[in-house]
Structure 1
């Protein structure tokens, strides 16, 4: 993390690789990272993950060389193998026998190359993106309402609105910098209202004007009832509707049918509903922002259209401080949509179902056999792989073995794949284990190109590090394979700037065919111009122009949104509804953030959270969560902010870091019928205690192998050490011996403390006066000491006494406290000491110890600590 006084004069201006906010970053090869004060998205702010980017530059487990059949190979041999595998699949089954599964982690130039190869030259529509898992419903809703995938508003609208409605968006954790812009605007204009629509009481609810904890999956009922209320209260903008829209009558008919049942369907207090409806009707400057809580649903497209409908009905779109606003979960989900890297779209917002579009694209690309229509979407693609209907698949920069629903079936499909290519940076990806060919890709800091954020701003992601090993750019791999397949002329790019110019020129063709997406004004950029390209919002039809809000998009369409219940309902056998979601300090499947010790301090292991009245055991107890596939075994937490009947489980952990804490095996593979986006927010599960005979932890330099114990979680520690949280149903004395044997080192000696009758077993391993490992087992997790103090001693001279080491804590003071502020590494004890010294507000705590002054996502936790600290606590 950058220090406040760091010299950034030599830093490279680039863009953060995490969420769709698209923050500008100043980065240097030494790992110094700071927010770019000149970037319009963040004006210098960074979240905890962005601030820790410097700690991800030398992650372990980098894939550094091509591999074929598990052995290192030359690039020529690996690329020949890819081309041969795809040629064989094409010969055996034609274009429908091959596919590509790509990612919002790709740069736009990589995305463009992949889509051109698949649809233009392999002749298959079977290219889909992991954006199908987060943004496909928003894309489908935009196309139904606007005729094109358009986000009409700007981030500035959140600051200019008088009412902001967050729907299915924990903005404080998932888009922290955007949340801080919103909070700052509210502080400057105290009359501004914030409504949060979310089943959970998340960090985003703190300080909100109103929280509507609706029943999971019932968003359509809420916004359909709001539309009916707007009509009944005379709040419709009849002039705007008559001049700009179509389809209101059908949408109103569907809304009126739902409205009388809104309170029952949503489970909301009628008084809260009435307040929300009254505020919305009376506030012209209203922004409704939504994210995965809306999209990841079997009714996701209808949910998004129900939101858009209320804005069309009131004319609140495309003007300052108003509009429906979908924010993306990945840094380049928007860029992938621009180039058509979804199975249902063509490049540059062209469409198969618009006469002449496919022909125009084929002519522009000089494509011999453009795909005739849409291909397999994500869930169907891996189902086809498992059923033997795909002979070759190339996965790029994503980890479907963890991220897709029904992930047991996905893993089985990957294991059955006749030919699987995976290009990635990290061996930590679960998917890489199944690959026949592994291609080492460049990572953030090494690759060069562009990304587009949620407000349509195109930013440069610039390299500031050399390529490690033999890693190469994704676009280069794609082009080299295309050449081997006989398409050299169409893929003769020499740089990402060449691809960007082609992409921009294609958008100009699309604009001539009536599309709003147009960056034709950038098609003339030379290499020098591309190198210094400033953040630029589209459309850019001419050089020097900059896009703004979008209103003139032709006829705007209301879409009827009848009520449909979620596909899978809770039952007597599985009475709880599982929601999955993100944590503040983690990213996707943790192949990047999961190896940064500082980012693991907030929640080092996956927890399933329930309302206290639903909990089958005490908080901290191990439980088994049963759903669609392999049950999860993990620790229980309770939260009165969850509604009854609802469980929450983070989606980040894969088998590498938590063999038993994976969320997605629990989820059935149900999808939205319009967008094919899978349901990740509504899975029926049961939770019951898991009877462990012992609980324990291991601190060591080595990663323990899976075996006779149940390894709940592996957690990285500073200095290359690991913490393991373990439990088992075998005899604790046997587990103790087995674990000691697996950790023993030549020249090292164990110091042991045991009470077999009480089930207590403790040992520390010392070598050359240094602590090498610690092993603690007990029948109850409450009998185990905190891990933090021992972890700080690993690899260090053992200055503590044997008694202190085996006691698990210093003899002369309290053990270290948990970290609350990940940005600045501020512990709870330090915060409590600041409060005891007189810091009576969150702002005062920040002044005293810097907590909450980074991304601000920990500020709700600081607020919760304020009344709890009445006396000084040792730091």
Structure 2
């Protein structure tokens, strides 16, 4: 337990990215939570990003699943699990064990993952269990295993602070792992000799601390690092002693990189040769180098090779196993690593054992005592994520259990995934949210617990195991995932092997398996047997600790391979000969633009959690398309205009954001929006199901698309008072039949951004057909096609409408407050159509989500003389909490300085 100032609290872990921040949560008398960063947690030392600091705002029972459903009808747990067991067993009997599959999530806790893997592979006898970690970490995992011998991240977060050079490649750390970015930023400020290189097709907020930025052509990363390897060899920058004593295969790797000379790399990667050689010199000349990489490397049809090209360079210089040195893949999800520890990937068994590992099948069979079962443990790997849904579409897999993820949105070629789900005879979904795209395809829906209720462990990007502790009671009949799986196992006749009463018993079995027969030639690097036998009290008190944790290393292991002995049979790291390949989703005359996808600062995955915190919707409130000004001019698109992207597999609609940070010929879209929040806002619909041949990870960063304006006759903003919905999926409201809509949750109301192709002559009649309350106030400008209207009933605001583009909106904070008034005052009623207090001004798009500070207010303060982030913080409080907005604040300051210089230059020219 940890102490917050003045009160006892529960120490738990943030459920978002792989940084694994410690959180102190205090349950207030009214049942709400107080949230702050845990100053004692070694991942974050008290820091939280804006998502973590808003965790308490994402809670509540509204829109939660609270009862099981079977075939569209609410039922009891016993009936639901009985039906589940009956149908699963009938499927196995009719079609064999391999007709059953499961698809899991990095949002599950390790204990949930463990029993799921044990049930499906160990007792149902199917190898077809995979996880959405396949979409983010599979290539990094495969590369580590090929080179280092195990899925073992060698670094820790302290290495970022001890490095002389940090290379960020394929990682917008500032937005995707903001707390880690802040740690790096502080370390750089403390050490003026530290350098940071950012390698990314886009100029991102991570460039704020960059000493060198390389705007690389998408997909050319392997060539870049092959060129680095060749440059190191040509310039005598190799660690020949390290190579001779601790590695193998260098000559083949170097031979594959020989043609990657500086001029060729510069031309293909589209990088200025002088800047390129500067990077090569910095990397080769420093020993303490950390290369931190993420989805920009992994999500590629050659992602494994790209990761190995990076690892090759570190091995060539002996830059691994040292403080401040190593190839560091940063995990996307909170428990992607924990899921891999227990066998959550289709090519794994459990405890980091693989199907091809000598004796592994027999070892797991003995430990789980499944030798008398028919069928026994599968003897070969199962289908990876994309293959899994292809097998469903073929009719090979007849039953699928999906837990805590939404493949109908997140997988590429999402239309095909949806066709497969529609065709699958039995789809079981364990979920906590009542309204997700996936539920429409489910035959059996099982209500699961969420972050504030779950109890177990997670493992972060630096191999640190932390406790996630339950804080609040589960709503209705929601149950923990481990409980659901164990009860299903009991109904299937396997109750004795799943007779756990608490997650500490599952963790203990997992720890014992990690050390089971873990010696000699079969020794595995992953070993937490030192945590076996903790008991309930020890488990509850478990402090964050990095694996391996053994009797010889009872306090964990901060850094791997310090003795340069690797997890390969001969103890030597392997160089991998890499032949660079460009993206397989080729551009064409029909689809001439390169598509990039990714996260944004304030949202997480498919927004089932973050969208419950209205302030997190203010930074980017609807789907968008970011493009270069030259491309905007070429395709006739203006800033904030609605546009449409088309690809062979679907289309995407969003609002144009024009930015010089984007390369010409390339566009970026966010990955978060789903059918629950937008029309045609799903990034997965735009991507082909092309995967890396080694890892099976999809090529999610390299789509091929066409761009055009979205033809519309009108735009409108509709705010509707929040209605308390039931716990069953609902149909779309009538205004969603138009060409564009995006739903934006607000405090006390829902905001809808709408646009349509067909003119609407009578807006009051149109709204009357949509909503039961009639307009009581309106003001119309027919000549300009503008209207503002509102409905007030029994003293409360029911809805508010503005016909016109969002650029004409007032700041919506005042209107939001009116939806929360128990009774409108006469003054407020008179101001409703204006949408603001007398003299109130629009504060613009929210830049600082922590303090809800808008762009207009920030620019006004800059022009008044507050031309530093410190001055802005003192005046407006922006940037003073989580720090995520600091890069944007600096950009606004620079933009205003540029405007001022340009203005001064124009005055001088006139004079």
TM bin, normalised by shorter chain, reads over 0.9
CA distance in 2, matches of 1:287, 1:450: 28
8 Å CA contact 1:788, 1:816 repeated in 2: no
Residues in 2 aligned to 1:35 and 1:423: alpha-carbon distance in whole angstroms: 30
Shift of 1:316: 0.5
Which residue is 2:675 aligned to?
655
State how far apart, in whole Å, the 2-side matches of 1:657 and 1:37 are.
Answer: 36
Contact 2:623–2:653 (CA under 8 A) maintained in structure 1: no
Match of 2:686 among 666, 672, 682: 666
Match of 2:486 among 479, 486, 490: 479
**Partner residue of 1:376?**
383
Instruction: Report the CA distance between 1:15 and its aligned residue.
Output: 0.3
Deviation for aligned residue 1:7:
4.7
Matched, 1:187 2:189: yes
Instruction: Provide the secondary structure at the position in 2 that maps to 1:303.
Output: helix
2:559 to 529, 549, 564: 549
Counterpart check, 1:846 vs 2:866: no
CA distance in structure 1 between the partners assigned to 2:832 and 2:146 by the alignment: 64
Q: Is the 8 Å Cα contact of residues 456 and 469 (structure 2) preserved in structure 1?
A: yes
Give the structure 1 partner of residue 532 of structure 2: 523
SS at match of 1:317: coil
Work out the CA distance in 1 between the residues paired with 2:826 and 2:305.
63
Residues 748-767 of structure 1: pairs in structure 2 closer than 5 A:
749-767=775-793
Distance 1:163 1:59 in 2: 47
- In 2, distance between residues paired with 1:94 and 1:800? 71
Name the counterpart of 2:198: 196
The within-5 A match list for 1:230-269 is 230-259=232-261, 261-269=264-272
Q: Deviations over 1:493-533 (max 9, x none)?
A: 11101110110011002632211111001111111100100
What is the aligned partner in structure 2 of residue 51 from structure 1?
53
Question: 1:640 matched to which residue of 2?
Answer: 660
Q: Which whole-Å CA distance do the structure 2 matches of 1:170 and 1:313 have between them?
A: 26
- Distance apart, 1:198 and its partner CA: 0.5
> Contact 2:298–2:697 at 8 Å: present in 1 too?
yes
Tell whether the 8 Å contact from 1:24 to 1:35 is kept in structure 2 after alignment: yes
Q: How far, CA to CA, are the matches of 1:832 and 1:293 in structure 2? A: 33
CA offsets per residue over residues 70-98 of structure 1, 9 Å max, x none? 11111111111111121111112112101
> Where in structure 2 are the equivalents of 1:241-640 lying within 5 Å?
241-259=243-261, 261-367=264-370, 368=373, 369-509=376-516, 511-512=518-519, 513-542=522-551, 544-551=554-561, 552-553=565-566, 554-615=571-632, 616=635, 617-640=637-660
Shift of 1:371: 1.2
1:485 CA drift (Å): 1.6
CA distances 1:236-290 after superposition (whole Å, capped 9, x unpaired)? 1011111110110111011113335211221111111111011111111100000
The DSSP-based 3-state class of the residue aligned with 1:32 is strand
Task: Provide the rounded CA distance (Å) in 1 between the counterparts of 2:808 and 2:58.
Answer: 35
Could you tell me which residue of structure 2 aligns to residue 790 of structure 1?
815
Offset, 1:355: 1.7
Q: Deviations over 1:188-222 (max 9, x none)?
A: 01121000010000110113101111011110010
Q: 1:140 aligns with which of 142, 152, 158?
A: 142
C-alpha distance in 1 between matches for 2:628 and 2:764: 35
User: 2:747 maps to which residue?
Assistant: 718
1:350-376 deviation per Cα after TM superposition (whole angstroms, max 9, x unaligned): 111122111111111112300111101
Q: What displacement does 1:449 show? A: 0.5
In 1: Cα distance, 2:718 partner to 2:57 partner: 24
Output the CA distance in 2 between the equivalents of 1:144 and 1:474. 33
Distance in 2 of aligned mates of 1:8 and 1:297? 49
Write the distance in 2 (CA, Å) between the matches of 1:867 and 1:359: 63
Paired residue secondary structure (2:761): helix
Q: 1:7 to 1:67 in 2, by over 3 A?
A: farther
Once residues 775 and 679 of structure 2 are traced to their aligned partners in structure 1, the CA distance between those partners, rounded to angstroms, is 30
CA RMSD, 1 decimal: 1.9
1:351 to 1:707, Cα distance in 2 relative to 1, 3 A: closer
Instruction: Give me the whole-angstrom Cα distance separating, in 2, the residues matched to 1:262 and 1:738.
Output: 59
Contact 1:153 1:318 in 2 (8 A): yes
- The Cα of 1:754 is off from its aligned counterpart by 2.2
CA positional deviation for 1:385: 1.5
Q: Is the 8 A contact 2:404 2:431 kept in 1?
A: yes
**Alignment-derived partner of residue 110 in structure 1:** 112
Q: Do structure 1's residue 25 and structure 2's residue 23 form an aligned pair?
A: yes
1:25-51 deviations in whole A, cap 9, x for unaligned?
001232100000000000000000000
- 1:246 and 1:499 map into 2 onto residues whose CA distance is 39
Q: Per-residue deviation at 1:548?
A: 1.9
Query: Which of 62, 73, 76 is the matching residue for 2:75?
Result: 73
User: For residues 514 and 799 of structure 1, what CA distance do their matches in structure 2 show?
Assistant: 76
The offset of 1:390, in angstroms, is 1.1
Query: For residues 643-675 of structure 1, what are the alpha-carbon distances to aligned partners after superposition, in whole Å with 9 as ceiling and x for unaligned?
Result: 111100000000011122221101111100000
Rounded to whole Å, the distance in 1 between the matches of 2:591 and 2:801 is: 37
TM-score (norm 2): 0.92
DSSP 3-state at the match of 2:259? helix
Q: Which of 13, 21, 26 does residue 15 from structure 1 map onto?
A: 13
Q: How much does 1:818 deviate?
A: 3.3
Cα shift at 1:349: 1.0
- How big is the shift at 1:784? 5.2
Deviates more, 1:326-335 or 1:379-388: 379-388
Residue number among 61, 64, 75 corresponding to 2:63 in the alignment? 61
**Does structure 2 conserve the Cα–Cα contact (< 8 Å) formed by 1:112 and 1:499?**
yes
Q: Does 2:855 correspond to 1:828? A: yes
- Cα deviation for residue 111 of structure 1 reads 0.4
Contact 1:350 1:510 in 2 (8 A): no
Could you state the TM-score of these two structures normalised by the residue count of structure 1? 0.96
> Paired residue for 2:222, among 196, 220, 223?
220
Q: Distance in 2 between matches of 1:284 and 1:50?
A: 35
SS at match of 2:8: coil
Q: Where do 5+ consecutive residues of structure 1 fail to align? A: none
| Contact persistence 2:764–2:775 (CA under 8 A) | no
Q: Deviation of residue 827 (structure 1)?
A: 3.1
Q: Which residue of 1 aligns with 2:883?
A: 856
SS at match of 1:445: coil
Moved more, 646-655 or 428-437: 428-437
d(CA) in 2 for partners of 1:628, 1:116: 39
Query: How many angstroms does 1:706 deviate by?
Result: 5.0
How far residue 805 of structure 1 moved from its aligned partner, in angstroms, is 3.0
Deviation of 1:228 after TM superposition, in Å, equals: 0.3
In the comparison of the two structures, how many residue pairs are matched? 864
Look up the SS of the partner of 2:412 in the other structure.
coil
